[in-house]
């Protein structure tokens, strides 16, 4: 078992499976200013990592749609149905946003595709994976507007899509958790479509970066929190642009900064012990709870920001998946 002492003298444990996988992982994709090449490199890197995982892809049916977004680019949505053949009876649906720091990721990445297939298969809930636009070519608030458009579309066309409009939920991972949380705020402030719950996994909820957990940063990287902020700041700049200082306080960019968190869907928030963003998730759970929105936060010991995808390799990640599936299954009630 791998471990070390943090600055407070506490023993920090990393699951040996995670440590071994990290050591065997290929180097990350080279950076480039060409958006096409940059995204192709990132996709190729994800495929190499996926091959190392040796994941079995769950057999499910899929459909793809393009959703119009007023004043913004259309957005592609892939629906993963729980069975290999789309059923006629309506099923609960979960609108899902991938992670990638707002600059990479997508529903075609093997890792996310496998996750959505696995979760649909194991939970019996349809996954509506949103292929939102990436920065810096497309910036805030476009991904949030795309998220809201998908929610409205899923509700209005639920019968045609084989979904139950009264049993929809939403969630995302990392930057996708940011967009999911922001979408619930937009939805509350506009039409108020019914959402049963939200699942936010290692979410980024405060783009001012004031909620970075310095202790987690020091434990994982041996660097002070200020350097963790320096690492994350270019991602924020990419997403928000030149007006980042002002926009970072916008509640649709930083859901933690909203004036009110009342009347939002009940939240299940998952954080990782060795993740500097754990403060974002845990603080968000606190403000939701104090605003009267039911919220629960679980911190997974020995886990890093990206380790939840190591299902079948890391016991913690496998438990993480089981917990998400258990929550999704409540949509059948």
Tens of pLDDT, residues 268-283: 999 999 898 999 999 9
First CA to last CA distance, the chain:
40
Per-residue pLDDT for 102 more than 60? yes
Torsion of CA 170, 173, 175, 179, to 10 degrees: 0
Per-residue pLDDT for 243 more than 60? yes
Is the distance from CB of 180 to CB of 255 less than 8 angstroms? Answer: no
Please name the helix (run of DSSP H) or strand (run of DSSP E) that holds residue 116, with its range, or none.
Answer: helix 110-123
Reported as a pLDDT band with limits 50, 70 and 90, residue 5 is very low
* DSSP 8-state code for residue 157: T
Task: Judge whether 275 counts as a catalytic residue.
Answer: yes
d(CA 270, CA 168): 20
Q: What is the mean pLDDT of residues 297-302?
A: 94
Task: Judge whether 10 counts as a catalytic residue.
Answer: no
Half-sphere exposure at residue 238, Cβ-oriented, CA atoms within 13 angstroms? 18
Task: Judge whether 174 counts as a catalytic residue.
Answer: yes
pLDDT of the residue at 82: 96
The CA–CA distances, whole Å, from 245 to 40, 206, 231, 239, 325 equal 31, 12, 17, 12, 37
Q: What is the mean pLDDT of residues 102-123?
A: 94
d(CA 301, CA 1): 13
Q: What phi and psi values does residue 19 have, to the nearest 5 degrees?
A: -60, -40
Catalytic hit among 46, 275, 280, 307: 275
Catalytic hit among 121, 155, 268, 305: 305
Catalytic hit among 174, 175, 219, 254: 174
Query: What 3-state class would DSSP assign to 212?
Result: coil
Reported as a pLDDT band with limits 50, 70 and 90, residue 87 is confident
Is the distance from CB of 272 to CB of 305 less than 8 angstroms? Answer: yes
Pick 313 or 178 by higher pLDDT. 178
Closest CA to 169 of 131, 203, 196: 196
């Amino acid at each position: 078992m791998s471990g070390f002492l943090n600055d407070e003298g506490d023993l920090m444990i990393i699951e040996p499976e995670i440590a071994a996988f990290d050591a065997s992982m290929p180097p990350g994709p080279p950076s480039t200013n060409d958006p096409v090449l940059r995204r192709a490199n990132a996709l190729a890197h994800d495929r190499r990592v996926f091959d190392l995982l040796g994941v079995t892809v769950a057999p499910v049916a899929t459909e793809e749609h393009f959703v119009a977004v007023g004043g913004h680019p259309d957005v592609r949505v892939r629906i993963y149905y729980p069975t290999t053949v789309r059923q006629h009876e309506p099923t609960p649906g979960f609108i899902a946003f991938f992670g990638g720091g707002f600059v990479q990721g997508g529903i075609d990445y093997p890792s996310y595709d496998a996750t959505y297939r696995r979760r649909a298969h194991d939970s019996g809930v349809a996954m509506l994976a949103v292929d939102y636009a990436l920065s810096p070519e497309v910036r805030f608030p476009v991904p949030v507007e795309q998220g809201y458009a998908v929610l409205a579309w899923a509700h209005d066309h639920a019968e045609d899509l084989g979904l139950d409009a009264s049993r929809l939920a939403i969630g995302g991972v990392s930057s996708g958790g940011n967009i999911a949380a922001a979408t619930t705020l937009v939805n509350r402030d506009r039409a108020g479509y019914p959402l049963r719950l939200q699942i936010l996994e290692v979410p980024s909820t405060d783009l001012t970066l004031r909620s970075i957990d310095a202790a987690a940063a020091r434990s994982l990287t041996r660097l002070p929190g200020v350097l963790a902020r320096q690492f994350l700041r270019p991602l924020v700049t990419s997403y928000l642009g030149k007006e980042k200082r002002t926009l970072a306080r916008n509640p649709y960019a930083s859901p933690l900064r909203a004036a009110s968190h009342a009347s939002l869907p009940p939240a299940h928030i998952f954080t990782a012990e060795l993740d500097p963003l754990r403060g974002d998730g845990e603080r968000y759970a606190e403000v939701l709870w104090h605003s009267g929105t039911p919220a629960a936060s679980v911190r997974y010991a020995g886990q890093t920001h990206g380790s939840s995808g190591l299902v079948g390799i890391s016991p913690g990640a496998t438990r993480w998946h089981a917990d998400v599936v258990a929550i999704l299954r409540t949509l059948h009630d």
